[in-house]
Amino acid sequence: MNENGMNTCPLFIDGSWTDAGDVATEPVFNPSDGSVIARTPMCGETEVDSAVRAARAALPDWSATPVVDRARILFRYVHLLEENFEALSRLVTREHGKTLVEARGSVRRGIEVVEFACGAPTLLMGDSLEQIASGIDCDTIRQPVGVCAGITPFNFPAMVPMWMYPIAIVCGNTFVLKPSEKVPLTAIRLVELLHEAGLPSGVMNLVHGGVDVVNALCTHPDIDAVSFVGSSPVARHVYQTATAHGKRVQSAGGAKNYMIILPDADPAFTVDALIGSVYGCAGERCMAGSVAVAVEEAAQRVLPPLREALDEMKVGPTDREPAADMGPVVTRQHLDKVHGYIASGLADGASLYRDGRGVEVPQTPEGFYLGPTIFDDAATSMKIVREEIFGPVLSVIRTDSLDKGIEACNQSGFGNAAVLFTGDGKAARTFRNRVSAGMVGINVGVPAPMAFFPFTGWNGSFYGDLHMQGKEGFAFYTRQKVTMSRWA
């Protein structure tokens, strides 16, 4: 407890929960009503070192544990996650502000990664070839990288951590997790359940904090690999800092995802997809569609019904009934930042087609709310188009060809997702081949891959070589060893 009687989040080191001690704390909010529900200790090098030493000490025994036994712990973990599915989803809603439907979906996606990791005995198999030369055979095996760290963002308190540690530990590594200081409660519960599943002490550790902890993890000599998800500037910093200290790094950043709408796109279907992509999770996700490129008469066909649908959308608290269609953004500070982008769009000459700033939520007036917002007649030179807003704001660019839409998309500097709405197969093929993005949607508003495919951001949306999830995730958390044998 702190001096105000508010629970301060504990650390998990070497199999035990412990207090951070006399360190500063930051508030954890319920975004729906603005109340403080916990406090996050802002730890530093000392706490990171304790967690890393515990992980390093546990590494020899854990890496020598048969892979089938490591996988069996994850099978038990899946069972516990399913038993606690609803409680975890409500916890995500409480500390992040997602609707319960969105929270359930994100927890489900996280569990799917754990299920995928349970296939480690097959996914870790190597290759072999006999008689590569006279009397010589060759084979490869995969071995753990060592001590791994995960630094995760506020927007997916359950899913993004589960992109990392289940694959890392089933590969035989040990792990130190630093969740976002804005949403630590879900991560604490995930670690509790993992320990309950029977994971040995020291294999999984949890620390809290901000930039000091991030830098300590990136520079600690006993950490071998770092996984990060967050904004692009921080992703670049993590990549540059950690690689300079000899670590393997996968660092996923932000995005500015373009959605090109051709005139032949079905208006009703496109409107539904736009609502889910742009305004799902209040726009706080790196796969959110944030720029719509309307080709020829597509704007006239789509924008009026989109605005009508948004006028019917209920914005409000997500932690009580009746449920809202869209919840708040994560903090008052972030709400002010998004308001700043709206002011910038107006100053740059974009037309505010729908203004969400006046949304009223009388039952929880202290919540961090912004209604669905649309800018029309935007241009690629504007800040609202160039930068990631991370809120429920759509910028619409009008153009007269698919080629110009692809060109605008490819100039953005990011490369997470790109989407095309059309019924034209030739246009879809052209788009897929030419667009500079790692994840492409054809009539799919949020083309986020499932656990057995990699999350393949490009350009300024990713720093590193091996992506998260899928076979690339297993490749990242292992090193290959090649053995050549000759027996006289």
Buried b (16+ CB within 10 A) or exposed e, 175-211: bbbbbbbbbbbbbbbbbebbbebebeebbbbbbbbbe
Which residues are annotated as catalytic?
Answer: 286
Distance between CA 376 and CA 310 in Å, rounded? 15
**The pair of three-digit structure tokens given for residue 161, joined into one six-digit string:** 């951590």
Scan for tokens 């060109």, then name that residue. 407
Q: Which residues contact 202 (CB under 8 A, 6 or more apart)?
A: 14, 15, 54, 55, 57, 58, 62, 174
- Rounded to 10 degrees, the C-alpha dihedral 475/456/153/109 comes to -80
Which among 30, 44, 261, 64 has a CA at the least distance from the CA of 144?
A: 64
The pair of structure tokens assigned to 23 is 């360190």
Give the CA distances from residue 256 to residues 295, 383, 388, in Å, rounded to whole numbers and listed in that order.
19, 11, 6
Pairing of strands 248-252, 225-229: parallel
Q: Which two tokens stand for residue 437?
A: 């993005």
Could you give the residue ranges of the DSSP H alpha helices within 65-84?
67-83
Sign (positive/negative) of CA torsion 227, 45, 31, 85?
A: positive
Q: How far apart are CA 215 and CA 459, in angstroms?
A: 23
